A = this chain, B = another copy of it.
Amino acid sequence: MPDVSRSVQSGDYETAVSAGDHLDVRIWLRLLTCTNMIEGRVRRNLREDFEFTLPRFDLLAQLDRAETGLTMGELSRRLMVSNGNVTGLIDRLVGEGLVARKPAPADRRAHLVTLTAAGRKSFDAMWPQHQRWINAMLDGLDRTEMEALFALLGRLKQSLADAEGDGASTRRGEK
């Protein structure tokens, strides 16, 4: 069992929270801290165990679940990054033979990106390890807590989508 009293962090986004901060801001800073902690660990493990970067892994993960491939636009939306970033990443992965780019059957001006056999092999070696890392990091939560957290993050995601749809009033901070 890990020693629950041990703290490896001497500071994070939450350190500067003051008593006057509202709960919503505190939730955001804690959410950001958790995301950075998980992302940092996955990033380091991928580099040390597989000499692979996180953006490349994320891209292979999306392609792994898309049987017929994805367009650049779909990849860009799913990875929540700019088209330009995705294009550069794809170029390098094509150069290494891990993904392939081919004209889309429906529209030859569009391109579909797919995993090559080498790309699938590479991803299949990393994915089970990735699951083990996440599993170990969330080990301190029991099943009830995990289900509650998943549901509340679903509520948060819906609230965020609604606020984006309601963009003008969000910008003015109106309710």
A106 at the interface (CB under 8 A from B): no
Judging by beta carbons under 8 Å apart, are B37 and A35 in contact?
A: no
Question: Using Cβ atoms and an 8 Å threshold, which residues of chain B touch A129?
Answer: 173
- Taking the complex as formed, is A18 at the interface, i.e. its CB lies under 8 A from any CB of chain B? yes
Residue-by-residue, is A19-60 near B (CB-CB < 8 Å gives 1, otherwise 0)? 000111111101111111111110001000100000000100
> Could you say which interface size class chain A belongs to?
35 or more
Is A78 among interface residues, defined by CB-CB distance under 8 A?
A: yes
**Min C-beta distance of A141 to chain B, whole Å:** 6
Cβ–Cβ contact A36 & B135, under 8 A: no
Report if A139-B175 is in contact (Cβ < 8 Å); known contacts: A16-B78, A80-B12.
Answer: yes
Chain B positions within 8 Å of A39 at CB level: 32
A28 to B136, CA, bound (A): 12
Q: Are A162 and B4 in contact (CB under 8 A)?
A: yes
B-contacting 9-mer, from A84-92, A107-115, A163-171: A163-171
